[in-house]
Amino acid sequence: MAPDVQRVLVPQPITAEAFAPYGELVGARGELLMINGGTTKRYHRQVVTETGPEELSGKAIISLFRAQARTLPMKIEMLERHPLGSQAFLPADPSPYLVLVATGDDQPDMNSLALFLVAGEGVNYRAGCWHYPLLSLNPAGEERDFWVVDRSGKGHNCDEFFFPDDWDISITLPTDSMGPEA
């Protein structure tokens, strides 16, 4: 029997280095090319979309997710992962949101659990990265749009892990945070 687990997670500012075990940040960085007669800056190849083994015929797709506001503090009861492909979340505006991630094979490694506060850029979860569904910090009652690039195709590509009932994992915002605490 697993010991009781109690964790309260407070977000840390996101950096490329801190997020590296889970994926990549998506924003204006890296190789810059001037295109369209010098009128457009192209930040080339920000991330590579993982679509799984060729025999599973994976394709990269773009979807729009419309997220409802989360009420914090909140209890975390599960994490999910997509073992065959990466998943990029690109917010339609620069407002802050939270990203809860963990590494691990068959289940999340609790020692790797990390909560990040993200504003003004997107994230790309590596294939197999455990994460919580969208944690939008928009005002209560308002929805927020995220463009999502992920995999569609053959094969099982969504695992969920539900924490045992005696585990108490919650997230909260510090009092000086950028987002609303409901």
Per-residue pLDDT of the chain (182 residues; tens, 9 = 90+): 455 788 899 999 999 999 999 998 888 777 788 878 887 788 877 877 888 887 888 888 999 999 988 889 999 999 999 999 999 999 999 999 999 999 999 999 999 999 999 999 999 999 999 999 999 998 888 899 999 999 998 999 999 999 999 999 999 987 765 544 44
Give the count of domains, the chain. 1
In a domain, 176, yes or no: no
Q: Are 83 and 62 in contact (CB under 8 A)?
A: no
Say if CB 127 and CB 52 are below 8 A apart: yes
Is 40 a member of any domain? yes
pLDDT at 2: 54
- Bond from prior residue into 73 cis (ω within 30 degrees of 0): yes
For position 176, what pLDDT does the model report?
Answer: 61
CATH number where 87 lies: 2.60.120.480
**In the prediction, which pLDDT does 180 show?**
46
| Kind and range of the H or E run holding 16 | helix 16-19
Q: Which domain holds residue 22?
A: 5-49+58-171
Q: Rounded distance, CA 33 to CA 44, Å?
A: 7
